[in-house]
Amino acid sequence: MNRKIKIGDFGQKLAKDFLIKRGYAILAEKYFARVGEIDIIAQKDQQIIFIEVKTRLSNNFGLPEEAVDAKKREKMYKACLKYLEENQIESDNFRLDCIAVEINKIDKKAVIRHHKGI
């Protein structure tokens, strides 16, 4: 497994733990459809949340959340509609979120920012 995938998987695990501690139920992970993908699909208070997780070890290429641009959000939206269709969910009570994870390897700590309704 390459380094980038390992970092991404670790960030996704941190994001999942972050969500669970805040009362979210995890419905799916790494959902893939031809139109796009969703890292985490969660539910809280009858709302389904489709989450993109971005993880960085440094800010050399900008903040993690800056990588979730309009094109990425459009793909997420298409993938979330596909998920709703496949699972026969006829609700419009959903939103797209981004969780940014910055890992400090020296301090062995992570900063997590949850951006709701991107």
Compute the distance between CA of residue 105 and CA of residue 58 in angstroms, rounded to an integer: 9
- CATH code, 3-115: 3.40.1350.10
Write down the pTM of the prediction.
0.92
Query: What token pair was written down for 43?
Result: 């539910």
Name residue 14's amino acid: L
Name residue 116's amino acid: K
The pairing of strands 94-104 and 47-56 is parallel
Percent of the chain with pLDDT over 90: 76
pLDDT (tens digit per residue) in 55-109 = 998 877 888 899 899 999 999 999 999 999 999 998 889 999 999 999 988 888 8
